[in-house]
A and B are shown apart, each in its own frame.
Chain A
């Protein structure tokens, strides 16, 4: 039985995952964790997260720069507020909030990403309802 995928939407200047990913953008240590890079986490549209869930992903990890240090000034604050429903457009009510994790990590913090990602992946794959 194949594992459900978890998609990471990450910006180019957050934690540097290049060294832990293979050529297809899959994280080597964590099975089924795929990385999609964007110039800024502020580019993430909530409907991208909805699309991932509808297509069968177990969960989505949103990763941006440290709050206060977005390379493009406000991108991480924008997606953060959209996820919390404080800014339009937001996540549809039908999206299971337990399956979304947001991390704000600087470039040297790939270890922190890996540890949070591993915990999250096993958590969302264990969700049955």
Chain B
């Protein structure tokens, strides 16, 4: 029964893609750039974030302390209501974040439906889950930075949820709040996390891309225009507003929920902390375990390509062409006519045979499908008289 779900979804996806190809052709089919879409939104977030950063002030001082009030909330308010196009950049930043979560989930779904997450592809899937978790957390810190009443509720909910973790809880809470209680240090910590983790996404993305040659990370310009235009239009239709300024002596309870980032807080509000953490941690581990080989007994294992050592000339065509960085050129043994020798990292090999197609010297083979056998079959079919 399980196999009929992905099969049904696969048929549906292929039918949708066929319809889109009929209008836009494969060149502009967004399904064929599903990884590049969140990557593009990441650049939008970096640029819009940089512009916001120029005017943002990470402090929590409120009316209690000073007359000419300058704090996080007033700086965000200044950006939204005084700075030319400040509201637009703020809106672009917020909606790019939401769009990034949407496009990541769609990307993960397509990867799963088209069976591109198992065997030699498991590192991409696992790093992808971690990237999604990081993106969700970064987005949540973005909501804390506004320092309106919602930020205060979210901060308190987070610190009490984190404190409940066994052993590490109080330590993480102290790290999170940058002290024992919410102070100015807390907000500058949130800013550091928000920006610092965002840049560390680039490291995570390197891990995500490292096993792929020439990863497709840039959609064509026409699609980029649409991705941006969506943000600009939504900024007009749904202007961003802040809630009331946070007062640390008050106890607000309700907040408007952004379902893309704040759904964990909805969960937290509707269950006890233990169940929450079991769900979140268990769910994340379960997602990471999706490519686990034992789940796929029926799937045929990959038979990795093998180099025929005495024929390899070290031309590197196979290494250049391999889509999964599975071939490495090493120095040829002493006494060889050639400088380099190809070697296959079998744990990265997909068994696709692109290396076989690249080799002009018949020096690499898929053990279960020799190209000499294929050529012999072609010859016999071509010669056969009916």
A and B touch in the complex (CB under 8 A): yes
Is the Cβ of B369 less than 8 Å from the Cβ of A39? yes
Is the Cβ of A36 less than 8 Å from the Cβ of B378? yes
Is the Cβ of A78 less than 8 Å from the Cβ of B321? yes
Categorize the interface residue count of chain B: 35 or more
Task: Produce 1/0 per residue, B292-328, CB < 8 A to A.
Answer: 0000000000000000000000000100010110000
Q: Tell which of B15, B321, B350 touches A108, judged by Cβ atoms closer than 8 Å.
A: B15
Is the Cβ of B26 less than 8 Å from the Cβ of A66? yes
Instruction: List residues of chain A with CB within 8 A of the CB of B379.
Output: 51-52, 55
Task: Produce 1/0 per residue, B26-38, CB < 8 A to A.
Answer: 1101011100000
Whole-angstrom distance between the alpha carbons of A84 and B18 in the complex?
26
Which of B15, B32, B379 lies at the interface centre, i.e. has the most chain A CB atoms within 10 A of its CB?
A: B379
Q: Tell which of B21, B212, B386 touches A2, judged by Cβ atoms closer than 8 Å.
A: B386
Q: Tell which of B29, B214, B381 touches A74, judged by Cβ atoms closer than 8 Å.
A: B214
| A57-B374 in contact given A78-B354, A89-B360 (Cβ < 8 Å) | no
Is the Cβ of A78 less than 8 Å from the Cβ of B375? no
Is the Cβ of B26 less than 8 Å from the Cβ of A3? no
Is the Cβ of B26 less than 8 Å from the Cβ of A67? yes
Is the Cβ of A68 less than 8 Å from the Cβ of B14? no
In the complex, whether B384 has a CB less than 8 A from a CB of chain A is yes
Q: Tell which of A36, A39, A69, A88 touches B360, judged by Cβ atoms closer than 8 Å.
A: A88
Is the Cβ of B357 less than 8 Å from the Cβ of A108? no
Instruction: List residues of chain B with CB within 8 A of the CB of A48.
Output: 371, 374-375, 378
| A66-B32 in contact given A3-B386, A78-B354 (Cβ < 8 Å) | yes
Nearest CB in chain B to that of A90: its residue: B360
In the complex, whether A71 has a CB less than 8 A from a CB of chain B is yes
| A108-B323 in contact given A2-B385, A36-B374 (Cβ < 8 Å) | no
Is the Cβ of A55 less than 8 Å from the Cβ of B14? no
Whole-angstrom distance between the alpha carbons of A106 and B321 in the complex?
22
In the complex, whether B17 has a CB less than 8 A from a CB of chain A is yes
Task: Produce 1/0 per residue, A28-44, CB < 8 A to B.
Answer: 00001010101110111
| A47-B375 in contact given A3-B386, A106-B21 (Cβ < 8 Å) | yes
Shortest CB–CB separation between residue B368 and chain A, in angstroms? Answer: 9
Shortest CB–CB separation between residue A9 and chain B, in angstroms? Answer: 8
| A42-B353 in contact given A72-B323, A88-B360 (Cβ < 8 Å) | yes
Nearest CB in chain B to that of A4: its residue: B382
| A89-B381 in contact given A43-B353, A106-B14, A108-B14 (Cβ < 8 Å) | no
Is the Cβ of B382 less than 8 Å from the Cβ of A72? no
In the complex, whether B356 has a CB less than 8 A from a CB of chain A is yes
| A71-B114 in contact given A45-B356, A51-B375 (Cβ < 8 Å) | yes
Nearest CB in chain B to that of A24: its residue: B381
Instruction: List residues of chain B with CB within 8 A of the CB of A78.
Output: 321, 354, 357-358
Instruction: List residues of chain A with CB within 8 A of the CB of B369.
Output: 38-39, 43
Task: Produce 1/0 per residue, B3-32, CB < 8 A to A.
Answer: 000000001001101100100001101011
In the complex, whether A109 has a CB less than 8 A from a CB of chain B is yes
Whole-angstrom distance between the alpha carbons of A75 and B366 in the complex?
15
Is the Cβ of A106 less than 8 Å from the Cβ of B354? no
| A36-B213 in contact given A71-B114, A88-B317 (Cβ < 8 Å) | no
Whole-angstrom distance between the alpha carbons of A66 and B216 in the complex?
15
Instruction: List residues of chain B with CB within 8 A of the CB of A52.
Output: 378-379, 381-382
| A40-B354 in contact given A68-B32, A108-B18 (Cβ < 8 Å) | yes
| A5-B384 in contact given A48-B378, A78-B321, A89-B358 (Cβ < 8 Å) | yes
| A71-B14 in contact given A36-B374, A42-B354 (Cβ < 8 Å) | no
Task: Produce 1/0 per residue, B109-125, CB < 8 A to A.
Answer: 00000101000000000
In the complex, whether B264 has a CB less than 8 A from a CB of chain A is no
Instruction: List residues of chain B with CB within 8 A of the CB of A32.
Output: 386
Whole-angstrom distance between the alpha carbons of A72 and B302 in the complex?
13
Sorted from nearest, which 4 A-B pairs have the closest CB atoms?
A43-B353, A42-B354, A68-B32, A72-B352
Cβ contacts A to B, 22 pairs, < 8 Å = A36-B374, A36-B378, A42-B321, A42-B352, A42-B353, A42-B354, A45-B357, A47-B360, A53-B382, A57-B381, A66-B17, A66-B26, A66-B32, A68-B26, A68-B27, A68-B216, A71-B116, A72-B350, A78-B321, A87-B321, A106-B14, A106-B17
Q: Residues of A with Cβ closer than 8 Å to B?
A: 2-3, 5, 7, 9, 32, 34, 36, 38-40, 42-45, 47-48, 51-53, 55-57, 66-69, 71-75, 78-79, 82, 87-89, 104, 106-109
Taking A36-B381, A66-B26 as known contacts, 5 extra A-B pairs with beta carbons closer than 8 A to each other, sorted by chain A number, are: A43-B356, A52-B382, A55-B378, A55-B383, A56-B383
